[in-house]
Amino acid sequence: MKERSQEQQLVSAARGGDLDAFEALVRLYEKRVFALTLRMCGNPEDAAEAAQETFLAAWQGLAFFRGDASFSTWLYRLASNACVDLLRREGRHRAAAGLSLDDEELNLDVPDPARSPQDEAERRELRESIDRGLAALSPEHRQVLVLREIHQLRYDEIADVLSLDVGTVKSRISRARRQLRKFLLECGNFSPPSASKGTEKEG
């Protein structure tokens, strides 16, 4: 609660033009923003560019921030939009580096934690296949999957971040998972879901 109060004070001061307060907000969120942009853009150079654009947009738009959503949600929105803009502008559809999606959600057949060299090789091959599969997704579909699986945002939070309705968010996530599953099946790196799993259930 204390951190929340401190953040609100910094946001209020920054909205009034206090550059020191804004710099404090940047320090508070720069690692989380970079983590998001890295997974969206797929490499440090693009991620750094998108993160820089995020904070520039935040400074320029802070006067219009009304606090309807939390500052972090607003910042995620700016970061996500910056990544999509960059990917579209450059025509880049690279996969998110080091991405590790939720295994249960995607029904991935991942080896036991006590891995043999063969298990480790299989796991590495799976990660590489996921990277290639994500590279084939549109920026919009990669966007929702990263927010859901990496940053563990709820559907309503993703809807707030992207200014979408929850139904659209669920639809995009479902479609992105189907596309990724199809790619992994074709690569032979995916265990088909059992009949009882209800693979498209969103919740």
Distance CA 154, CA 174 (A): 14
Domain count, the chain: 2
* Burial (0-12, 13-18, 19+ Cβ within 10 Å), 28: middle
* pLDDT over 90 (residue 143): no
Alpha-carbon torsion 51, 168, 71, 67, what sign? positive
Same domain, 64 and 37: yes
In this predicted model, what pLDDT tens digit does every residue of 96-120 receive, in sequence order? 434 444 433 444 344 445 567 777 7
Same domain, 116 and 137: yes
- DSSP annotation of 194: P
Joined together, the tokens standing for residue 38 give 């890295």
Residue 198 lies in a domain: no
Q: The domain that contains 71 carries what CATH number? A: 1.10.1740.10
In this predicted model, what pLDDT tens digit does every residue of 1-23 receive, in sequence order? 566 678 889 999 998 889 999 99
Return the ∠ at Cα 145 (arms to 53 and 129), rounded to 5°: 105
Q: How confident is the model at residue 200, as a pLDDT?
A: 45
Same domain, 121 and 61: no
* pLDDT over 70 (residue 78): yes
Same domain, 176 and 111: yes
Residue 196 lies in a domain: no
Give SS3 for 43. Answer: coil
* pLDDT over 60 (residue 68): yes
Residue 97 lies in a domain: no
Give SS3 for 2. Answer: helix
First-to-last alpha carbon distance for the chain, in angstroms, is: 28
Distance CA 87, CA 166 (A): 24
Provide the domain limits for residue 128.
103-187
Residue 113 lies in a domain: yes
Residue 169 lies in a domain: yes
Q: Model confidence at 87, in pLDDT bands (50, 70, 90)?
A: confident
Same domain, 34 and 86: yes
Same domain, 84 and 8: yes
- Minimum mean pLDDT range among 49-53, 133-137, 165-169: 133-137
Same domain, 113 and 152: yes
Q: How confident is the model at residue 91, as a pLDDT?
A: 61
Residue 117 lies in a domain: yes
Residue 167 lies in a domain: yes
Last residue of a domain, one of 90, 123, 152: 90
Q: The domain that contains 109 carries what CATH number? A: 1.10.10.10
Phi, psi (rounded to 5 degrees) for 82: -65, -40
Last residue of a domain, one of 50, 69, 90: 90
Distance CA 168, CA 200 (A): 14
Distance CA 110, CA 106 (A): 11
Last residue of a domain, one of 34, 57, 90: 90
Distance CA 87, CA 51 (A): 13
